[in-house]
Structure 1
């Protein structure tokens, strides 16, 4: 029970059609329902969102949680539509000014006003990872759209694809990120290998230029199926004799074995056994991508789309390199040189006659 005697109410609010859900304290608006538009307090001022979840009465509201101010009135929705109508003009003006400044590698994607129009966010992306100086562009936009506070925010290629929408590489009329993906998962090349997908770039790359998000959809099922079967090049015992596994068919739960006479046959997993050891009774699936020895797809850095929080990919720190001399050759320790025989013994002197 809250301090004023009202029961605490916790709701999840979404700020875009396919966006992340944020939790807010709705104790002041206890009659809120799913689908209602509400005015909430955020780090960027008051915003309008849609209630997507209502949680059962919690024992207490987490400390520091923002609150729902009120239900959005028709006038509030009209004000937001008026500001949204000006966003296309902002994008057009910003693109023209970027061309005048010679910012050829900068792509202006979208613009978003806050609910009351006091803040304006201009979203852009770059073709390279190099930092671009946009101080002049921001100052020009600030003078153009004062008194609103203008902010330039860089987003990643996946965020750009989600904002722009369009047909997916698989042929769907709308991309997965624009339909139902609220967050981007970590995708690696191992997921394609585990499912036997061709590693041709056009087969595993999406319209954003990164690995397709759908590679993770069935990865867990393939991993569990492969865990029950022996790997390639393992020696197994079949009803027709001993042989070597040359291929795995995880969806059928079978393997293709090459027998001693060179004939290849397909056997179910329960009818074969490893030479010298039985197959595991329960599958042990390694879902940690970091344990794979093969190089992974580096994660792109992405920031917020409008008011949406995106995960920031962290690049692993480089391992310290070995010490080198000024000539560029690696130094070696005297102990290792002595063991390798690089130090030669001095020849013994002949005794004087």
Structure 2
């Protein structure tokens, strides 16, 4: 299997040639493939690798050939034309008084289809807009309504961690993220702290959630009375990453214990 990316959309392709033009396929190579959207130029983000049977997903398209200089030239021409189409479409939307915000526009490699992605809070009747666009560009028009997370994925950007957004670099499908994950990790529940550029909960909350859930099962709850090597005390805090519990005794003496020390005296049941 090989991973490819185009317009910040990560796709998986099966049975791609192990070699292109006699050389191994490498990261950042370009190929031409037939996808559900049409013929597209794709950039390799991960060379061929074995995938466990349980992790196999439905391939997103069929490999056609390694990209040629002519393909690259056509790709850049299409990008320029798509930008002009985007400006025209924005003007048409304004004239039609439609409540929709364009995200981007893209031609398939052979210009058989022109795709516009947009966001909107409601369903939009864009039938007349499609007719206007088809008459102007003389090709098949596809208008796709996407969510705010998809918008962030297409546009890209830098997250609070200082790195490019996960969704626009390596994430394939979006995973469910809940506020409980933030609570499990003792994070601030302020929306500005745990929300991504899309305004939804950050995808990275999911990465360490399993560890935090398992750690919490091994540690006592704050406010719980437990047995420690120094006697019985009240849990007043914990460091989940280090599996350390802070305990307060009747004389207000405070001490920290690793969960292994508590297990040795049967402190955590």
TM-score band, normalised by the shorter chain? 0.7 to 0.9
**2:232 aligned counterpart, secondary structure:** strand
1:165 aligns with 2:159: no
Match of 2:203 in 1: 213
Which stretch shows the higher mean deviation, 210-219 or 86-95?
Answer: 210-219
Paired position in structure 1 for 2:258 = 268
Matched, 1:100 2:95: yes
Give the unaligned 5+ runs of structure 1: 1-10, 57-61, 281-353
Larger radius of gyration: 1
User: How far 1:278 moved relative to its partner?
Assistant: 6.1
Query: In the alignment, which residue of structure 1 is the partner of 2:118?
Result: 124
Aligned equivalent of 2:140: 149
Measured at CA, do residues 84 and 274 of structure 1 come closer, stay the same or move farther in structure 2, by a change above 3 Å? Answer: same
Structure-2 residue corresponding to 1:245: 235
Q: Residues of 2 paired with 1:55 and 1:167: CA distance?
A: 28
| Equivalent in 128, 135, 140 of residue 136 of structure 1 | 128
Higher helix share: 2
Q: Tell me, what secondary structure is at the counterpart of 2:6?
A: coil
Q: 1:270 and 1:43 mapped to 2: Cα distance?
A: 54
Equivalent residue runs for 1:273-352 within 5 Å: 279=268
For residue 75 of structure 1, the aligned residue among 70, 75, 81 is 70
Instruction: State how 1:19-38 maps to structure 2 within 5 Å.
Output: 19-26=9-16, 31=22, 33-35=24-26, 36-38=29-31
- Across the aligned residues of Structure 1 and Structure 2, the Cα RMSD in angstroms comes to 3.1
More strand by share: 2
For the Cα contact (< 8 Å) 1:234–1:274, is it kept in 2? no
Kept in 2, the 8 Å contact 1:41–1:66? The answer is yes
Query: What residue in structure 2 maps to residue 111 of structure 1?
Result: 105
| CA–CA distance in structure 1, aligned partners of residues 43 and 197 of structure 2 | 29
TM-score by length of 2: 0.82
Q: Distance in 1 between matches of 2:196 and 2:61?
A: 36
Matches of 1:239 and 1:268, distance apart in 2: 11
What is the match of residue 39 of structure 1?
A: 32
**Matches of 1:271 and 1:63, distance apart in 2:** 48
Does residue 191 in structure 1 map to residue 181 in structure 2? yes
CA contact (8 A) 1:124 1:152 kept: yes
- Render the CA deviation track for 1:186-212: whole Å, top value 9, x for unaligned: 211111111111111111112211011
Q: TM-score, normalised by structure 1?
A: 0.64
